Amino acid sequence: MSTIRDAVERVPRPTVFVLFGATGDLAKRMVLPAFATLAAEGLLPKEWVLIGNGRGDIPHEDFRDHVHKALSEFGPRPKKRWWRDFEPRLLFAGGGFGADDPGSLLDVIEQARSRTGEDPQLVHYLAVPPVAFGGLTEALGRHGLVDDARVVYEKPFGTSPDTFRTLNRTVRRVLDESQVYRIDHFLGKEATQDLHVLRFANEVFSAMWDRDHIESVQIDVPETLGVDDRAGFYDATGAVLDMLVTHLFQVAAEVAMETPASLGAADLQAAREKVIRAFRPLDPAEVVLGQFAGYREVPGVAPRSKTDTFVAARLWIDNPRWRGVPFLLRTGKRMADSQQRVSVVLRTPVCPFPGLPEQTNLLSFSLSGTGEIDLRLLAKQPGVGLRVEPATARLPLSQLPDAEPLPPYVRLIHDVLLGDRSLFTRPDGLSAVWKVAQPLLDHPPRLATYAQGSWGPARARALPAPQRWLLGE
């Protein structure tokens, strides 16, 4: 545990934070609120400047107004206590940024460096569509902005095996791997991190974390939300690329990885990537794709779109610990409920109690919010008889003594400032992910329509057989 504690207690160096796509939806909803939260909590370095970059040429004051409106909508609401110091550190560099034309960014970076009063570290955050990653990376190298810099790439890092390989070659030409931070905000969630902490720090769970004791694992992320606010992006991406090959595969690796040699970044990443290489390539016959009724009527969606808004898959891990244990992954838009839950289903024991219900011995993690752990087991119902009933013990992580939970983007941006790469993905793991997904991408199953407010296509119910989905069934 000391590795993580020491990283958090370090003080970030003076920083110039360059936010590409600063006026876009992702920056407005996630990155700017996370950065402002760090400021409000006193977790930024003493000297810092945030530079927004975009194609438009707007005055610094207008960008500050834009940030103020974004925070008023998505939080934290600007308060005089910290906004008076925060606002003047916001600058804007217009004219875009490319290898042939840097716009005004170089001049504004020099202005920011003079404000910090010291030689600051450069952090470039690419909150732009994946198609822009390669060109921006080459431009950073062309204009000398990569020395001692860190570059944050949003997901997905490539949208196919070919685009991943092309982008990875570009990044390797310009940057050292130690400078690269490929973000997957599911890894920054408090409960995701607690998956391996609970297991490795508690012998009661560590001893049963294998195929002899675990019947199946369910990773279930249904959403009631639609795609109205980002229809153009989503229609070019879909549930498989937006969620399955990014978030759900990474969470599966957190559950399944072997004990790392240490909690240092290199050892955690190595353990995560090693188990991903053991993932068996998906069998399209074990995948269900769906599209909610009415999706094609959403403004911005192609009239004959075949984009999947739902995916459920059975994943197998071919190593001694997990061979034969199905990992059941499911996510979709416009479903009956919104949850983010990992459920480790224990095998029903052989015991003298007849007729025990299945799937009642269960360790469950809610990844939503600050996180929660549930342990469901069978207990004797008080009374004169011998009646066995399910019971649940619940641990909200926010109620642990001195808990100071951070939202995932806040935690991950703070880690970037500190240079801690523990919760970021590596290219070898991503390469393995694309190999796992390749059969599905080459031969996707027929798309099924499902009703809004349902639990997805009917044929997805058969994937957990002979068991059932724990949510919604």
Binding site: residue ranges? Answer: 21-28, 55, 155, 185, 189, 223, 242, 333
Q: Any residues with CB less than 8 A from the CB of 311 and at least 6 apart, and which?
A: 239, 240, 243, 244, 287, 288, 289, 290, 329, 330, 331, 332
- Residue tagged active-site, from 66, 68, 124, 247: 247
Binding residues for substrate: 185, 189, 223, 242, 333
Provide the 10 A C-beta neighbour count for residue 9.
8
121-126 and 90-93 as β-strands: parallel, antiparallel, unpaired?
Answer: unpaired
Distance CA 439, CA 279 (A): 13
Question: Could you confirm whether 66 is annotated as catalytic?
Answer: no
Binding residues for NADP(+): 21-28, 55, 155
Write phi, then psi, for 454 (nearest 5 degrees): -100, -170
Distance CA 393, CA 84 (A): 45
Closest CA to 154 of 179, 185, 123: 185
Distance CA 43, CA 38 (A): 5
Closest CA to 445 of 433, 427, 463, 432: 463
Closest CA to 264 of 370, 423, 67, 450: 423
User: Which active-site residues does the annotation give?
Assistant: 247
